[in-house]
Protein backbone atom coordinates (compact mmCIF):
# COMPACT_ATOMS: atom_id res chain seq x y z
CA UNK A 1 0.00 0.00 0.00
CA UNK A 2 1.40 3.39 -1.01
CA UNK A 3 2.36 5.94 1.63
CA UNK A 4 0.70 9.34 1.19
CA UNK A 5 3.18 12.23 1.18
CA UNK A 6 2.53 15.45 3.08
CA UNK A 7 2.59 18.76 1.21
CA UNK A 8 4.74 21.48 2.74
CA UNK A 9 5.89 24.92 1.64
CA UNK A 10 9.04 26.98 1.97
CA UNK A 11 9.43 30.60 0.88
CA UNK A 12 12.15 31.40 -1.64
CA UNK A 13 12.62 34.96 -2.86
CA UNK A 14 9.08 35.73 -1.62
CA UNK A 15 7.62 32.86 -3.67
CA UNK A 16 5.92 29.87 -2.01
CA UNK A 17 7.69 26.70 -3.13
CA UNK A 18 5.67 23.52 -2.68
CA UNK A 19 7.31 20.24 -1.80
CA UNK A 20 5.99 16.81 -0.94
CA UNK A 21 7.48 14.92 1.98
CA UNK A 22 7.38 11.11 2.23
CA UNK A 23 8.63 11.16 5.84
CA UNK A 24 11.43 9.11 7.44
CA UNK A 25 13.16 12.18 8.90
CA UNK A 26 15.80 10.03 10.64
CA UNK A 27 17.20 8.94 7.26
CA UNK A 28 19.49 11.02 4.98
CA UNK A 29 17.57 13.59 2.90
CA UNK A 30 16.99 12.91 -0.78
CA UNK A 31 15.59 15.81 -2.84
CA UNK A 32 13.90 14.99 -6.16
CA UNK A 33 13.82 17.76 -8.78
CA UNK A 34 11.58 17.43 -11.85
CA UNK A 35 12.27 18.57 -15.40
CA UNK A 36 10.60 21.36 -17.34
CA UNK A 37 6.84 21.20 -17.96
CA UNK A 38 6.48 18.74 -15.08
CA UNK A 39 5.79 18.76 -11.33
CA UNK A 40 6.88 17.09 -8.09
CA UNK A 41 4.29 14.32 -8.15
CA UNK A 42 5.88 12.79 -11.25
CA UNK A 43 8.31 11.25 -8.72
CA UNK A 44 5.62 9.40 -6.71
CA UNK A 45 6.63 5.85 -7.66
CA UNK A 46 10.35 6.52 -7.23
CA UNK A 47 9.79 8.31 -3.91
CA UNK A 48 7.70 5.41 -2.66
CA UNK A 49 10.46 2.96 -3.57
CA UNK A 50 13.18 5.02 -1.84
CA UNK A 51 11.32 6.28 1.25
CA UNK A 52 12.50 3.42 3.47
CA UNK A 53 16.16 4.36 2.96
CA UNK A 54 15.88 8.15 2.63
CA UNK A 55 13.91 11.15 3.83
CA UNK A 56 12.46 11.76 0.37
CA UNK A 57 11.06 15.11 -0.70
CA UNK A 58 10.12 16.33 -4.17
CA UNK A 59 9.68 20.01 -4.95
CA UNK A 60 7.64 21.88 -7.52
CA UNK A 61 9.92 24.35 -9.24
CA UNK A 62 8.55 27.91 -9.37
CA UNK A 63 5.67 28.21 -11.82
CA UNK A 64 5.07 24.44 -11.73
CA UNK A 65 2.66 22.31 -9.73
CA UNK A 66 1.56 24.09 -6.56
CA UNK A 67 4.51 26.49 -6.31
CA UNK A 68 3.96 30.18 -6.86
CA UNK A 69 4.54 32.07 -10.05
CA UNK A 70 7.42 34.48 -10.26
CA UNK A 71 6.46 38.17 -10.47
CA UNK A 72 8.12 39.61 -13.54
CA UNK A 73 8.59 36.17 -15.07
CA UNK A 74 11.96 35.26 -13.51
CA UNK A 75 12.31 31.53 -14.22
CA UNK A 76 16.02 31.24 -14.97
CA UNK A 77 18.37 28.57 -13.69
CA UNK A 78 19.88 30.73 -10.92
CA UNK A 79 16.43 31.44 -9.43
CA UNK A 80 15.41 27.79 -9.60
CA UNK A 81 18.76 26.81 -8.05
CA UNK A 82 18.04 29.08 -5.07
CA UNK A 83 14.65 27.38 -4.70
CA UNK A 84 16.36 23.95 -4.62
CA UNK A 85 18.75 25.24 -1.93
CA UNK A 86 15.83 26.57 0.16
CA UNK A 87 14.17 23.14 0.12
CA UNK A 88 17.45 21.48 1.10
CA UNK A 89 17.79 23.96 3.97
CA UNK A 90 14.25 23.08 5.08
CA UNK A 91 14.85 19.32 5.16
CA UNK A 92 18.47 19.38 6.27
CA UNK A 93 21.83 19.61 4.57
CA UNK A 94 23.75 17.89 3.25
CA UNK A 95 21.21 16.24 0.98
CA UNK A 96 21.42 13.90 -1.95
CA UNK A 97 19.70 15.20 -5.08
CA UNK A 98 18.14 13.19 -7.89
CA UNK A 99 17.05 15.31 -10.82
CA UNK A 100 15.69 15.01 -14.34
CA UNK A 101 16.46 17.21 -17.36
CA UNK A 102 16.01 20.91 -16.51
CA UNK A 103 15.92 19.99 -12.82
CA UNK A 104 19.40 18.55 -13.25
CA UNK A 105 20.69 21.86 -14.59
CA UNK A 106 19.12 23.79 -11.69
CA UNK A 107 20.52 21.26 -9.21
CA UNK A 108 24.00 21.51 -10.70
CA UNK A 109 23.99 25.28 -10.22
CA UNK A 110 22.61 24.79 -6.70
CA UNK A 111 25.54 22.51 -5.88
DSSP letter (8 states) at residue 1: -
Backbone CA torsion sign across 67, 63, 90, 22: positive
- Please state, in angstroms and rounded to a whole number, the distance separating the CA atoms of residues 40 and 61: 8
Look at residue 1 in the predicted model and tell me its pLDDT.
56
Q: In what order do the strands lie in the sheet with 29-33?
A: 6-12, 15-21, 55-59, 29-33, 96-99
Look at residue 74 in the predicted model and tell me its pLDDT.
81
pTM of the model: 0.96
φ, ψ dihedrals at 16, nearest 5°: -75, 125
* DSSP reduced 3-state for 15: strand
pLDDT 10s per residue in the chain (111 long)? 578 999 999 999 999 999 999 999 999 999 999 999 999 999 999 999 999 999 999 999 999 999 999 988 889 999 999 999 999 999 999 999 999 999 999 999 999
Amino acid sequence: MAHKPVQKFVTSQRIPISYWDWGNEAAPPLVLVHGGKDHARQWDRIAEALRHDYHVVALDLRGHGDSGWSPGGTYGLPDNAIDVVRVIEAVGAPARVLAHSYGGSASLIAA
